Amino acid sequence: MNRRDNMCFKVVGKIPQYLDGEMSEFEIPIFLEHVEHCHKCLEKYEIEKTFKEAVRQKCERKAVNGQLVNSIKNKISMLLAKG
Amino acid sequence: MTDVLREHTKERNSLSLSPEMKNKVFEVEFYPHMDALYNFGYRLTLDEDDANDLVQETYLKAFRFIDTYQQDTNAKAWLFRIMKNSFINDFRKKTKEPVKTDYEEVEQVYNSEDAHYSATVDLRQEVFGGILGDEITKALNSIPVDFRLIVLLSDIEGFTYEEMSKIIGIPIGTVRSRLHRARNMMKDKIKEYARSQGYKVDEA
């Protein structure tokens, strides 16, 4: 593997870390510098980013029903009243 | 100066909160997370009644253990940890899935260190961009619960690796690798769907 491919391999491996907000401050500029100038890595980055966004935004979110909210709050209130 | 009333208990060194303080913690720090907890519970159990029970049990346990909670710290992570433990202890038996995920089998197929797992990584961006929420939800529901759990915590609830590590009780390295595998599993499901819908799906 030549040096360029080696860098790409490392960068692609770090994409989830960056997208999850887990990359260290000093690594970020190096990472972004490569991604912005390497079309193969950029494409992979965009795919991962889109996937993560899709899961976050498009996954159906369930909300709790009012009855349960009241039931829980009542139970806790009663327990608090007991002291 | 403040209206904090704390009672010292003889048995323990820590301070016990008054009912007023406890109520405040619930109102300000605990109740706001009920929707997120319900959503999490539902995604874990895939059953509305079970999810209701799980949420209720979580808040009752929160009450029972409230003296172990430090105010104004990470209430969400604390509550999610309680729910996750309740789920593992009480509800997992009810689900149709086997109790233990066959990790070895999963590892063979989804090598966590291989960043270039080409069969799943090289999907076209428009597939994910244009994919329906329905298919994402289905893909999420289809993966084993331990993997579903970690995607929920990361991508739906936005916890950090460290928070997830504490909620689940696994090392941070395992958080990372499990997340990687879980996402690859979901992508495979989505890819299957995309193919069936006639999308072009590249293989590297």
CATH architecture of B103-196: Orthogonal Bundle (1.10)
CATH of B6-91 among 3.40.50.2300, 3.40.225.10, 3.40.50.12280, 1.10.1740.10: 1.10.1740.10
Residue of higher predicted confidence among B108 and A21: A21
Distance from CA of A68 to the nearest CA of B (A): 7
Distances (CA, A) of B70 to B22, B57, B74, B84, B192: 11, 20, 8, 19, 46
Mean pLDDT to the nearest integer, B47-62: 95
Name A14's Cβ contacts closer than 8 Å, sequence gap at least 6.
A23, A27, A31
B131: which chain A residues are within 8 Å (Cβ-Cβ)?
A: 54, 58
Asked if A62's CB is within 8 angstroms of B39's CB, the reply is yes
pLDDT tens figures, A11-51: 999 999 999 999 999 999 999 999 999 999 999 999 899 88
Helix A66-82 vs helix B48-64: crossing angle, to nearest 10:
20
pLDDT score at B112:
45
Determine the Cα–Cα distance for residues A31 and B106; give it in Å rounded to an integer: 30
Asked if B31's CB is within 8 angstroms of A68's CB, the reply is no
A20: which chain B residues are within 8 Å (Cβ-Cβ)?
A: 154, 160-161, 179
User: A40 at the B interface (CB within 8 A)?
Assistant: no
* Domain extent for A46: 3-82
Average model confidence (pLDDT) across chain B: 80
- Given A46, A54, A62, which is nearest B136 (Cβ)? A54
Residue ranges of chain B that CATH labels 1.10.1740.10: 6-91
- Given B38, B115, B183, which is nearest A51 (Cβ)? B183
Check if the beta carbon of residue B66 is closer than 8 Å to that of residue B22.
yes
- Given A13, A50, A61, which is nearest B125 (Cβ)? A50
- Given B22, B129, B158, which is nearest A50 (Cβ)? B129
Determine the Cα–Cα distance for residues B193 and B198; give it in Å rounded to an integer: 9
A65: which chain B residues are within 8 Å (Cβ-Cβ)?
A: 52
pLDDT tens figures, B146-168: 999 999 999 999 999 999 999 99
- pLDDT at position B25 over 70: yes
CA angle B127, B133, B134 (to 5 degrees): 105
Residue of higher predicted confidence among B114 and B76: B76
Counting the structural domains of chain A, the total is 1
Mean pLDDT to the nearest integer, B18-24: 91
Asked if B38's CB is within 8 angstroms of A46's CB, the reply is no
User: A71 at the B interface (CB within 8 A)?
Assistant: yes
- What does pTM read for this prediction? 0.80
B160: which chain A residues are within 8 Å (Cβ-Cβ)?
A: 20-22
